[in-house]
Amino acid sequence: MSVADLLLEDVCVSLGGREVLSSVSSRLAPGSFVALLGPNGAGKSSLVRAIAGLVPAGGRISLGGDAIAGMERSARARRIAYLPQGQSVHWPLSVRDIVALGRYPHGLADPRHASREDREAIEIALLRTGMLGLAERRVTELSGGEKARVALARTLATAAPVILADEPTAALDPKYQIAIMKVLQEETRRGALVIAVTHDLGLAARMADQVLLLDEGRLVADGSPREVLTARRIAEVYGIQVFEGERDGVPVLMPWAGIP
């Protein structure tokens, strides 16, 4: 337990008068990889958006004791970086200019006026995501996997202690899925708290330090992958059977069959 923990206390989110998330409480520690799991419509994205401050939430969300609702916008943006689902880029900017937007919360409005600190953060983010060689390319010329890495690089460039990623591996081939998850895992080793929404039970079981399992807006389980991702619970929440195995002491989980 650390003073920089992200603390969720009775977090509720309502959209259009319907409660999509009710009374979620948890404590998430820096340096840990937290997987947010649950069926479609369970409230995963809403929880991530509430933490990012994009939707108003009941209860209290605090980072290191500071309520995020009370934080000034750019201060919050410096501490919590958000990688939304399905990256859209509306103008064909260069990869470097897109990544430079990660420095916007630090006051960098024009990439041409980057300070040394900004430039360093941008280079490091490009390097860690393997995009350094493509930095001058237009994002519109890139493949889906490359675009996802640009989006991740933009998120890393903020150098925020909390990284929220909403389905960062959706629509990517297995190689990119693993690459993206590895980059996020490396960030946790550097002390960041990474919260990733995912539908990939296997990657969650393998990489996460903590799993939050949501179902119909409620937190049904919170703990290590071994504690949370039991065959019985997965059957209850997802309505599927899983194949369970192990390799080098790491749990292997694979969706196997539906339960009639």
Partner 1 sequence: MSGVDARAAQRPAAFQSLLTPALAILAAALFVASLGTGPVGIAPGEAIAALLGRGSEAHAIIITEIRLPRALLALLIGGILGLGGAAMQGLLRNPLAAPSLFGAPQAAAFAAVATISLGINDALSFGLPLAAIAGAFLSVFVLLAVAGRNASLVLLILAGLAVSSLAGAGTALAMNLAPNPFAALEIAFWLLGSLEDRSSRHVMLAAPFIIAAAIILFAQRGAFRALTLGEDTAQSLGVNVGRLRFVVILGVALGVGASVAVAGTIGFIGLVAPHLMRPLCGHDPARIMIPSALAGSCLLLAADIAVRLIPASSEIKVGVLTAIIGVPFFLYLIMRQRRALAGGLS
Q: Does 154 bind partner 1 (CB under 8 A)?
A: yes
Residue 60, φ and ψ in degrees, nearest 5: -140, 130
Binding segment (CB under 8 A) for partner 1, from list 34-42, 52-60, 174-182, 198-206:
52-60
Give the 3-state secondary structure of residue 39.
Answer: coil
Q: Does 114 bind partner 1 (CB under 8 A)?
A: no
d(CA 225, CA 217): 20
Q: Does 53 bind partner 1 (CB under 8 A)?
A: yes
User: Strands of 162-166's sheet, edge to edge?
Assistant: 80-83, 162-166, 193-197, 33-37, 210-215, 218-223
Out of 7, 54, 220, 231, name the contact with partner 1 by CB under 8 A.
54
Residues 210-249 that bind partner 1 (CB under 8 A): none
Instruction: Point out which residues pair with 223 in neighbouring strands.
Output: 211
Q: Does 147 bind partner 1 (CB under 8 A)?
A: no
Between 74 and 224, whose beta carbon lies closer to partner 1?
74
Instruction: Please check whether residue 217 is in contact with residue 223, taking contact to mean a CB–CB distance below 8 angstroms.
Output: no
Q: Does 84 bind partner 1 (CB under 8 A)?
A: yes
Q: Does 165 bind partner 1 (CB under 8 A)?
A: no
d(CA 138, CA 92): 6
Q: Does 170 bind partner 1 (CB under 8 A)?
A: no
Q: Give the CA distances from residue 50 to residues 46, 151, 158, 168, 252, in Å, rounded to whole numbers and listed in that order.
A: 6, 20, 19, 18, 31
The distance of closest approach from Cβ of residue 35 to partner 1 in the complex, given in angstroms and rounded to an integer, is 20
Q: Does 77 bind partner 1 (CB under 8 A)?
A: yes
Out of 11, 80, 153, 197, name the contact with partner 1 by CB under 8 A.
80
Q: Give the CA distances from residue 153 to residues 5, 126, 253, in Å, rounded to whole numbers and listed in that order.
A: 24, 6, 29
Q: Does 206 bind partner 1 (CB under 8 A)?
A: no
Q: Does 14 bind partner 1 (CB under 8 A)?
A: no
d(CA 114, CA 11): 38
Out of 2, 115, 140, 143, name the contact with partner 1 by CB under 8 A.
140
Residues that bind partner 1 (CB under 8 A): 49, 52-54, 73-74, 76-78, 80-82, 84, 87-94, 97-98, 101-102, 104-105, 109-110, 138, 140-141, 151, 154, 158
